[in-house]
Amino acid sequence: MDHKPLSTRESWLALEAHYQNIRNTHLRDLFRADPMRGERMACEAAGLYLDYSKNRITAETMHLLLALAEECGLRERIEAMFRGDKINITENRAVLHTALRARRDQHIYVDGADVVSEVHAVLECMSAFSSRVRQGDWKGYTGKRIRNIVNIGIGGSDLGPVMAYEALRHYSDPALIFRFVSNVDGTDLSEAVRGLQADETLFIVSSKTFTTLETMTNAHSARQWLLRSLHDEAAIARHFVAVSTNEAEVRRFGIDSANMFGFWDWVGGRYSMDSAIGLSTMLAVGPDNFQAMLSGFHAMDEHFRTALFDRNLPVILGLLAVWYADFFGSQTVAVLPYDQYLKRFPAYLQQLAMESNGKHIALDGSIVDYPTGAIYWGEPGTNGQHSFYQLIHQGTRLIPCDFLGFFNTLNPLDNHHNLLMANVFAQAEALAFGKSADDVRKEGTPEWLVPHRTFEGNRPSNVILADRLTPETLGKLVALYEHSVFTQGVIWDIDSFDQWGVELGKVLAQRIVPELANPEVTLTHDSSTNTLIHLYNTRHSTH
């Protein structure tokens, strides 16, 4: 691998020169020049269709981006990740979320142990437990079956489970109620348990470390809530299970280690929804659907690992993200799922992309001299069209968009799906080609209004389509983005798998907590923080 700084590499310099040539080229002209562009710049793999023709690229751009991937050693880095090398260098850890969905007959070793057999052993425990709860065989303390499941976790131990629950709601057991608690704001837990019967409620405490302030605070309060109704510590074992890597802390909390579902330090929080952190998902949709989701992940893993880069969906998506972030200076990517079930998908991607690639230090410890991770955001279509799309169409910023849609809906209702998908195609078309001043004039618009009603177009987008939203498709979509994020991190030469910014936040609040509990303490922060704490201590009433 070439260790020259990214911005001095041959392919990077070639891309800079190329960008100057095509930065003003309009998508209208690119499509006019190549009538087959919409077919040529598309790729279908593992059941996902990616149309990337409405990007501000030429065949030359793709050629140079692919050369950049080669020069940055992407192929070797993919192999290293799948093999279990400790590519998370700042934490000296392997990065093996791909092992979570490996087939039973595969072997992947970390420090001499075959992790695939460990993964399947945990999956079996999860399946057995889920089946008992779903069939009503797992009884609560008073002998009643479980009807409510509350997942307590935050960050990677929450966003994946929430997103997957919403995404797969169609497949969820309607007899079970699911709630998710993440915020240390007492409102979150209070609202989550409102109306629930304690003796029918199961809490899943999901925390890799089992020391996270928010999760442990919520777990302790949930425990008190339960004991207020059931009055016996023995009830805890029937109503609390844990998902964690920290058996000692789980036991200290009072959860029987027989009711703990483990995972490993080589699973990053934001890459953990298909580990035991997905227990709530499995309880909702059942072991078979969970397994189908894992198969979807695996299919995309295999595609990413084996496909040529010019036909490789995550590689293409990742390289395009680099193209806009580093050459066009785009700061954000809008993710626009045209499926109500994917309403939490943008929030999930936000963590996946921004916690992974929000870094400014290269692997060798130097400060990067190019932009890294873009800001991911979005809302489901068509709602976004009636709010923020205005800025995407006519604002001053270039915002590449990913449209996600399905050929078939899970809820056929009159003409709804055709209307929904017509909007996907129309939006991508309007962003790319706009509406010229002449066209606006032809509609009889008065001259003073023409500039306001003109759309310059040339706004890039990808359209990603799949048959329908099944558990398998969800696995493929998530893996698509996981590997796109990985591709970007490799190009940017950063560690996409640590999160020191999150760790700092975990420590800082702990320092102020005792100062809020004890107004007498001498405050030694800056004058702003001191005043704010003082104000809080004076005005906060303890009742």
Give the residue from 372, 384, 248 showing the smallest Cα distance to 321: 372
Quick one: 51 or 355, whose CB is closer to ligand G6Q? 355
Q: Are 299 and 31 in contact (CB under 8 A)?
A: no
Can you give the binding site for ligand G6Q, defined by CB under 6 A? 154-157, 207-209, 212, 215, 268-270, 355, 499, 502
Quick one: 392 or 485, whose CB is closer to ligand G6Q? 485
CA distances from 332 to 40, 321, 386 (A): 26, 9, 19
Nearest approach, Cβ of 160 to ligand G6Q (angstroms)?
Answer: 9
Nearest approach, Cβ of 29 to ligand G6Q (angstroms)?
Answer: 43
Question: How many alpha carbons fall within 13 Å on the CB side of residue 345?
Answer: 28
- Round to whole Å and give the CA distance between 406 and 408: 5
Catalytic residue among 386, 452, 540, 543: 386
543 is catalytic: no
Residues 6 or more apart whose Cβ sits within 8 Å of residue 171: 284, 285, 286, 289, 471
Cα four-point dihedral sign 479, 485, 490, 494: negative
506 is catalytic: yes
Nearest approach, Cβ of 78 to ligand G6Q (angstroms)?
Answer: 20
Task: State which amino acid sits at residue 481.
Answer: Y
Nearest approach, Cβ of 146 to ligand G6Q (angstroms)?
Answer: 23
Q: Are strands 109-110 and 113-114 parallel, antiparallel or unpaired?
A: antiparallel
Quick one: 155 or 380, whose CB is closer to ligand G6Q? 155
Nearest approach, Cβ of 253 to ligand G6Q (angstroms)?
Answer: 13
Instruction: Find the helix packing angle between 213-230 and 186-193, rounded to 10°.
Output: 40
Quick one: 209 or 423, whose CB is closer to ligand G6Q? 209
Q: Are 145 and 283 in contact (CB under 8 A)?
A: no
Q: Are 162 and 351 in contact (CB under 8 A)?
A: no
Quick one: 61 or 499, whose CB is closer to ligand G6Q? 499
Quick one: 433 or 492, whose CB is closer to ligand G6Q? 492
Residue of this chain nearest to ligand G6Q (CB atom): 155
Nearest approach, Cβ of 425 to ligand G6Q (angstroms)?
Answer: 35
Catalytic residue among 71, 214, 355, 515: 355
Nearest approach, Cβ of 79 to ligand G6Q (angstroms)?
Answer: 23
Nearest approach, Cβ of 357 to ligand G6Q (angstroms)?
Answer: 12
239 is catalytic: no
Cα four-point dihedral sign 23, 25, 26, 28: negative
Q: Are 180 and 297 in contact (CB under 8 A)?
A: no
Distance of CA 200 to the CA centre of its chain: 31
Catalytic residue among 26, 86, 343, 506: 506
Quick one: 372 or 499, whose CB is closer to ligand G6Q? 499
- Round to whole Å and give the CA distance between 382 and 336: 9
Residue 450 CB-density burial (10 A; 0-12 exposed, 13-18 middle, 19+ buried): middle
Backbone angles phi, psi at 519, to 5 degrees: -65, -15
Quick one: 261 or 433, whose CB is closer to ligand G6Q? 261
Beta strands in 299-340 (DSSP E): 332-337
ω before 382 within 30° of 0 (cis)?
yes
Q: Are 471 and 289 in contact (CB under 8 A)?
A: yes
Q: Catalytic site residues?
A: 355, 386, 506
